[in-house]
Structure formats: C-alpha cells, structure tokens
Structure 1
Amino acid sequence: MGSTVQEGIYHIVGIGMEKAPALTKRAPGLSAQKIIDEIHNVNGIAILAHPAWSLDRASEVAKLYGIDGCEIYNTTSGLPWNCRPYSGVFFDEMALLGHYLPCMAADDAHHYTGDETRSYIMVQADELTREGVLAAIRANRFYATQGPNFRVEIENGTVTVHTSPVQEVVFFTDTVWAGDRATVGENVTEATYKVQPTDTFVRVELKDKDGNCGWSGIYPVNKK
C-alpha cells in the first residue's frame, strides 16, 4: 500500500497477514500509520520499502510506530530501471534517532529483465514452512544479501564477521573516524572492528568479487 499525504510518500509492504487488511488504495486521508496499524490488525508484518527511492526522511519516519522492517536495498529501484536502490544512510540516520530497524532486501521485480532473484533475506528458521519463516522474521533471525553468507559476533567490545569469500567488509557506526573500519582484499573470510567509546551502533556491509552485497542488521553498542 502507499501513502501520499503531507507526511511523505511511503510504500509499506504487509506479509504474513491472515486476511486482507481493511484498507482502500488511495483512500482520502490514508496515512502511513493507518497502513501499519491495519497490517498489524490482521497479524501481518509491516515493512517500509525503498526509503531512499521515496526520499523518506528519517526525522518523519521516526514518528511512526510499529515498522517491523525496512529495505536497505531494492533491486528495481536501481539501474537500468530506476534510481536510489540503496538506503544505508537512512538506516544510520534512524539509528541516530534511536530506531534500530531490521534490515531487509528485496527485488520488487516489475520488469523481469534482470531485476528478479537478485536481493533477498537469509532466514534462520526452525523449519522450512510458512509459519517457521514468519516466526524467524518476527524474531529478527535473518540478514539481507545478494550472495555473501555471513554471521556477526560481538564479544568484549569487538565485532567479528565470519563470511564466505568477499573483497570488502565495512563496519558502519556513528563515529567519524575508526582505523579498522574497512577490510579490503582478496577472499576475505573474517574481519574485526573494535567498538569505539563514541559508537552507539554498528552495522556491517560486505561485497564479493562480483559486486554482490550483504547487509547486517543494526547492533546497539555502549548502551547502559
């Protein structure tokens, strides 16, 4: 569903719904919060799609309640079909406002000219069923990727990434400078980052030799 009132342009995806939400497309006064609430009313998961493409402002999105996930990458928003497929800066701005959105990727395939089966989430489900997958998504047991398989560990102030071979591992935080922020090389399978006293969050991005990316969720750090 889409909301186009003065608060901004929001495309919100509902998954796992038990029935159709009580929403009418382009209804007068249809707000983003109304869409989120109605998705929840039918036991659905509300996902904010392509915020960079929509030019959604973090300061406005932060006023909404109940967003269950957000796309960090949307294939069809990229070339040659469109623009602004990547929303990493939006995630960082939301984290600065204290909102740690679960990080998703999707194709949003419209054309089927290469925009399909490119970006997705890897889910740690107990069973390969609809219920098992939805339970894992609700529990935030997933990461977004286009190919790299990885896991993130945080222990004693150090963030460690174990990954399939990639060429780049980058740790994004709200500290301006950190010397170990990026690990670049051939067939990188592990990278570490020492959490800085000024960090309040960490997230990880990876890229393999073919340009396929992976994106972790956001991890709060130095929280008391």
Structure 2
Amino acid sequence: MHDAFTAPGRFWRGNLHTHSTRSDGVLEPEEVIRRYKAEGYDFLALTDHFIGLWNYPITDTTGFRDGDFTTILGAELHSGAMANGELWHILAVGLPADFAPGNAPHFLPVEDQETGPEIAARAVEAGAFVAIAHPQWSGLTLADARSLDSAHAVEIYNHGCAEGCDRPDGAAIADLLLSEGRKLSLIATDDAHFSEPDHFGGWVMVKAEQNSPEALLEALKAGQFYSSQGPELRSVRIDDKAVEVECSAARSVIIQGVGTGAKAVHGTSLTRARVPLDRLGDSPWVRVTVIDSAGRRAWSNPYWR
C-alpha cells in the first residue's frame, strides 16, 4: 500500500456506504446526495442492496456529478451463507452499471446461488473496490473473513451499526487478518439509511490528484486514504524506534500491531506525537488510531515494516 500523506494530490472526503429508496433507505437518491454535498463531502458512493427484492439496483448517480462533487457507482452485494446461516453483506464500490445479478431474491440464502467469496471475486474482476461490511454487526467469524480472500478492505467502523445496535467494530477481525499477512486497508462508513441518526459519522479521506471516480477508485485500491469520525491525520512516519504522527488536536495517539502489541501517548491538544515501537516487537505491520477530546477517532491504514 502507498502512503496517503506523501502521495500526490489532495484529500477528498467521501462516504462509501449509503442507501436510498432504491432499496431500504428512506430518501430519494437526489436528496441523499443533496445532504452529503451540504455537509461538505466531496464524493459519495450510493450502495443500495443488490438483491432481487429491489430488482438488483446499481443506482445511477452519474447525473449528480458536477465540478465540486462526484459519485462512484456501487452496491451492497448479498449471496451465500456465512457460518451463522445469514446472508453475506459485501460492499462493492466502483461497479460497472451492467454488473450481472446473481441469484439472491431476498435476504435469506437460497440454493444454487454464488457464495459470498464468489460474488466478491466477481466484483473485483469487474473493477470494484471491495470491503467486508460491518463484521461485528454481521456476526462474522474469522473463518468467514478468511474465506473472502479477494477483499481490499474491512469496515473498521460503521456508523449505522454504532447508532442502531452498538455493533460498529471491524478492528478485531481486521487485526487478525493483518496478523495472518492479509494486505487489507480499513474504511469508516456511514451505512446511511436516514431512518435513524446513521449519517455523517464515519468517512474516508482519499488522496488523489482529481475528484473523479477513476482517480478516487485507483487511490482506494492503492490504500491512499485514512478514515475518520472527525480528527485529521496529517502525517505518519515510521523509523526503527518509533512512529511519528501529526494530527489535529487529540488526547491520545495509539499504535497497534500483532497480538497485544500496542502503545499509546496521551496528552492535551496533541498535534504531534512520537510513539515508541518497543511494545510492538517485530510486528510486521503497524497502524495508528488518533482520539480527540470528544472520543472521536481517526484510523490510518496499516503500514508494513
């Protein structure tokens, strides 16, 4: 993965997981997009449920693009059963408009349908950036997560799952997969339906030279982004002894690695911190979490040492 902080371009703010009346959201696509634009977002992926119940929508948002705001086509894919018997939820951003439907007539597994890993691999082949959606909410097991071997990312935070059931987390599954050598990135999303306060709570900051679907998608696949609920990450630098982080005002800067490997530096209105690596041993990867005084977090992607 490339470093978002040294890559060319600027940061663009976007939400990658959103629903409208084309599936189970309560707002028309036009109003969803109006609200994200009004809140200062630069781009949006409208990812309605790709399921027979709603005629397998890939919602056409191309008409809402302008000089200040763009959209990326996508969907939340469903097919096959996880270990708990429930249907897979797989986020696919950057799908072609003619991505072929599978056999998922409703939210229950049926015979003769693709597995979750199969439809995820098909989405990747079609050019999409694919993420394991809301692992904690889904009741995803590590074996489930391992099987989805074509995914680019894990949702480390899902705001809709935070507000709706207090199950927002993907860090545990992500860290276990990273520790097995999986080169994954970490995304924060809204999963907005606008039926509860599930919006404007988690986003990605993508470093690209243009706010275009093509440039954003390339940067997402390259890991040139970080995720946030509010704090800004401005720089992450790693040497043999420490990780140096520059950020907006924070109370904690934390680094994590394999197993129990982690170290935090705490303070008041921290904008720079040097966090020693001695507690992380020879962990092959390191990631950063920044927490502000309101408890809001920002997450870097993993750095492979």
TM-score of the pair, normalised by structure 2: 0.66
SS at match of 1:36: helix
Partner residue of 2:206 out of 113, 123, 141: 123
SS at match of 2:89: strand
Q: Which residue of 2 aligns with 1:2?
A: 78
Q: Which residue of 1 aligns with 2:133?
A: 49
Mapped partners of 2:289, 2:261: distance in 1: 17
Does residue 187 (structure 1) correspond to residue 263 (structure 2)? The answer is no
- How big is the alpha-carbon RMSD for the aligned residues of Structure 1 and Structure 2? 2.0
Q: Quick check: 2:227–2:299 contact (8 Å CA) kept in 1?
A: yes
Runs of 4 or more off by more than 4 Å in structure 1?
6-9
Mapped partners of 1:83, 1:75: distance in 2: 9
Mapped partners of 1:190, 1:167: distance in 2: 11
Structure 2: any 5+ residue segments left out of the alignment? 1-76
Q: Which residue of 2 aligns with 1:138?
A: 221
SS at match of 1:39: helix
Higher relative contact order (CA 8 A, sep 6+): 2
SS at match of 1:52: helix
Q: Quick check: 2:156–2:188 contact (8 Å CA) kept in 1?
A: yes
Counterparts of 1:84-123 in structure 2, within 5 Å, are: 84-123=167-206
Offset of 1:108 from its aligned partner? 0.2
Structure 1: any 5+ residue segments left out of the alignment? none
Offset of 1:58 from its aligned partner? 2.3
Q: Which residue of 1 aligns with 2:3?
A: none
Mapped partners of 2:125, 2:259: distance in 1: 39
Mapped partners of 1:45, 1:7: distance in 2: 24
Query: Residues 210 and 6 from structure 1, CA distance in 2 versus in 1: closer, same or farther, beyond 3 angstroms?
Result: closer
SS at match of 2:266: strand
Does residue 23 (structure 1) correspond to residue 105 (structure 2)? The answer is no
Superposed CA deviations along residues 128-161 of structure 1, whole A, max 9, x for unmatched, are: 1222211211211001101111121112342111
Mapped partners of 1:66, 1:100: distance in 2: 10
TM-score of the pair, normalised by structure 1: 0.88
| Higher normalized helix content (fraction of residues) | 2
Query: Residues 59 and 201 from structure 1, CA distance in 2 versus in 1: closer, same or farther, beyond 3 angstroms?
Result: farther
Q: Which residue of 2 aligns with 1:159?
A: 243
Identity %: 27
Structure 1, 192-201 or 155-164: larger mean CA deviation? 192-201
Q: Quick check: 2:154–2:170 contact (8 Å CA) kept in 1?
A: no
Query: Residues 175 and 169 from structure 1, CA distance in 2 versus in 1: closer, same or farther, beyond 3 angstroms?
Result: same
Mapped partners of 1:5, 1:175: distance in 2: 29
Offset of 1:101 from its aligned partner? 1.4
Q: How many residues align?
A: 218
Superposed CA deviations along residues 84-131 of structure 1, whole A, max 9, x for unmatched, are: 102211111111211131100100012354211110000101111222
Give 1 or 2 for the bigger CA radius of gyration.
2
